[in-house]
Amino acid sequence: MTNHVKNLVPLLLGVLAGVGVTQLRAGRDYEVAKPSENIRAAPEGRHIGTLLEGATIEEVGRDGRWVKFQLEAWIWGPSLEGYQSEPSIAPRDDAEKTTPVLHTKERLPRIALSSHLDEVRELIDAEFGRFYGMSRDPDLNQVQIRFRVREIEPEALERRQMRVQHAVLMLLADDVEFESLRIVTNRPDGSGEVGAEMVVTEVDDIRRVDGQNLALWRQLTRRSTDGGKTWAGLE
């Protein structure tokens, strides 16, 4: 890691249980393999945050099965006690050409998404089903929400999918950039794996529907009932 990147990006330190990560490079980098994993201040210590599946960390130490790590991250300055704005400084010409800065930018949406994980989990568990996970596909610029439902009518599942899209968009819109939102569930009769039923709607269309107009939502949404093998709806 270059000094240039260190100056631009603060380092987040914490520990993760070793069972929640996949090794990328021997003794150094790991990727979170579970849908989410807690960050703790020390082994078995205080919970200080959450990482989502796919987040990359750098190992700096170990204690048994606990991995001490550092992570490049950003936080909104006005949320910090004692924060004061500083005048903007134009980047150096050589800074603009530094490859690690681009790599850092790729990580930012994932970190922003993780800051809303608890809110989304509470929303789903309280009103819509059993929360299974949240992720972002950078290639599709798409956020995915996964949850399980108990036996309900097919139309009730559609209304639930529509309302979840709208509610999640309202939670994420100010912090996470994405173009579409995918809802992934089991079948409305309560059977099957989470992943059997999928719907995808563009963000602009979710705003138009406003979580209320089911007929319009059906027109603007792509649907799959076989785990994404075939799709119906908007072309």
- The more confident residue out of 114 and 145 is 145
- Does 226 share its domain with 153? yes
Average pLDDT over residues 92-121: 62
**In-domain check, residue 86:** no
Distance in angstroms (rounded) separating the CA atoms of residues 86 and 193: 51
Handedness of CA 67, 68, 71, 76 (dihedral sign): positive
**In-domain check, residue 165:** yes
- Does 123 share its domain with 65? no
**In-domain check, residue 84:** no
- Does 211 share its domain with 139? yes
Please tell me the pTM assigned to this model. Answer: 0.57
Q: Which residue from 29, 180, 2 is spatially nearest to 92, judged by alpha carbons?
A: 2
* pLDDT tens-digit series, residues 120-150: 999 999 999 999 999 999 899 999 999 999 9
**In-domain check, residue 99:** yes
Average pLDDT over residues 158-167: 97
| Contact call for residues 36 and 133 (beta carbons, < 8 A) | yes
Average pLDDT over residues 106-110: 54
Distance in angstroms (rounded) separating the CA atoms of residues 183 and 161: 6
What does the angle CA 74 – CA 80 – CA 81 come to, to the nearest 5 degrees?
A: 160
The domain boundary residue, chosen from 83, 107, 131: 107
- Does 18 share its domain with 47? yes
Phi, psi of 41 (to 5 degrees): -70, -25
- Does 102 share its domain with 13? yes
Handedness of CA 149, 153, 156, 161 (dihedral sign): positive
Burial class (CB in 10 A: 0-12, 13-18, 19+), 149: buried
* pLDDT tens-digit series, residues 42-86: 888 888 888 887 777 888 888 888 888 877 677 777 777 776 766
| Contact call for residues 155 and 116 (beta carbons, < 8 A) | no
- Does 59 share its domain with 139? no
**In-domain check, residue 185:** yes
Alpha-carbon separation of residue 209 from 92, 128, 171, 178 (angstroms): 45, 18, 16, 17
Distance in angstroms (rounded) separating the CA atoms of residues 56 and 228: 27
The residue segments making up the domain with residue 15 are 3-74+95-107
pLDDT at 4 over 70: no
The tokens describing 34, both together, are 């579970």
The pLDDT score that the predictor gives to residue 78 is 72
- Does 129 share its domain with 102? no
The pLDDT score that the predictor gives to residue 79 is 73
Structurally, the chain folds into a number of domains equal to 2
- Does 36 share its domain with 100? yes
Alpha-carbon separation of residue 149 from 88, 128, 131, 196 (angstroms): 49, 7, 9, 12
**In-domain check, residue 90:** no
The pLDDT score that the predictor gives to residue 40 is 86
**In-domain check, residue 88:** no
Residue type, 96: E
